[in-house]
A = this chain, B = another copy of it.
Amino acid sequence: MRTIEADPPTDAGIILRRLSQYAEFSPEELAFLIEQAATTEKLSAGAELIVECEPMNRPHVLLSGWGCRYRTLADGRRQIFEFILPGDMYGLCHRPQAIALTNAITLTPCVIADASPLGEAVLERPQDYPGLAAACATTASLDEAYLLNQLMRVGRQTAYERLAHLFLEIAHRLSVVGLADGERLSMPLTQEIIADAMGLSVVHLNRTLQQLRRDKLIEFKNGSARILQPDRLAAIGDFRVPQVTSNECVPRRPFGGGTFSLAD
């Protein structure tokens, strides 16, 4: 299941690409970040990243592939809480002796990097790494924002609306790390996975996806998706790009719906 790989394979840049969105880094911080991708590990799909109720060990960065955090009920029903996308960190927690609140697994073959030094720097000596600390705090807040979005979708939106919102959110997250252009994005999830994330049955999810395709809103083709009408999707799913740090912020207005460009 696990293969240690000493040579940095390709993507150390994805960490930079991601985190440099959220703060300015000193040259030392940059060097420190690049080092994080020194030791990487390849995982096949279905590998355990985090096990619920066990102590959290080292924080990691996902360099490529998709993962998710989830929990199951006693009878096997599964709820996926959030997807872990390339450039995301997982396993970082402020609390000492923290135990995991959820499971996490890989959904596709993945490459991960041990980010223990980064985690330690941010938690133990934030004053020495202000840029890194700020960037990690921002990613943590974004994670919370995605979790809240997820709850909003599952709690108060129809299946159709949920999917519109989900695909825009994923497209946006992927575009931040350069894995989605204006319309096309990679979408390696099976319908069962999407269903477990959206709180739907596979059958109903399948039919709702068909509806989206029939309405010419999204296309799917062997592992990738194409957002055909981002504006209509945004209106349907009431999607807005998450805003976590103070800049402008469009206040919520009924049916106003901030227009959304996948390019940004």
Residues of A within 8 A of B (CB): 52-55, 71-79, 81, 93-99, 101-102, 134, 137-138, 140-141, 144-145, 147-148, 150-152, 154-157, 198-199, 238, 242-246, 249-257
Residue in contact with A148 in the complex, picked from B71, B72, B76, B152, CB distance below 8 Å: B71
Among A75, A97, A101, A255, which residue has the most Cβ atoms of chain B within 10 A? A101
Further pairs besides A72-B252, A98-B245: 13, Cβ < 8 Å: A53-B251, A74-B252, A74-B254, A74-B256, A74-B257, A78-B156, A95-B245, A97-B245, A99-B245, A102-B148, A150-B151, A151-B154, A154-B199
Can you spell out 30 A-B residue pairs with CB atoms less than 8 angstroms apart?
A53-B243, A53-B250, A53-B252, A54-B249, A71-B152, A73-B156, A74-B252, A74-B254, A74-B255, A75-B254, A75-B255, A81-B148, A81-B151, A94-B137, A94-B141, A95-B138, A95-B140, A96-B134, A97-B245, A97-B246, A98-B141, A99-B243, A99-B244, A99-B249, A101-B148, A101-B244, A147-B151, A154-B154, A155-B198, A156-B199
Tell me the minimal C-beta distance from A259 to chain B in angstroms.
Answer: 13
Asked whether, in the complex, the Cβ of B155 is within 8 Å of the Cβ of A246, the reply is no
Bound CA–CA A85/B242 (angstroms): 27
A97 to B199, CA, bound (A): 34
Task: Please give, as numbers and ranges, the residues of chain B lying within 8 Å of A97 by CB-CB distance.
Answer: 245-246
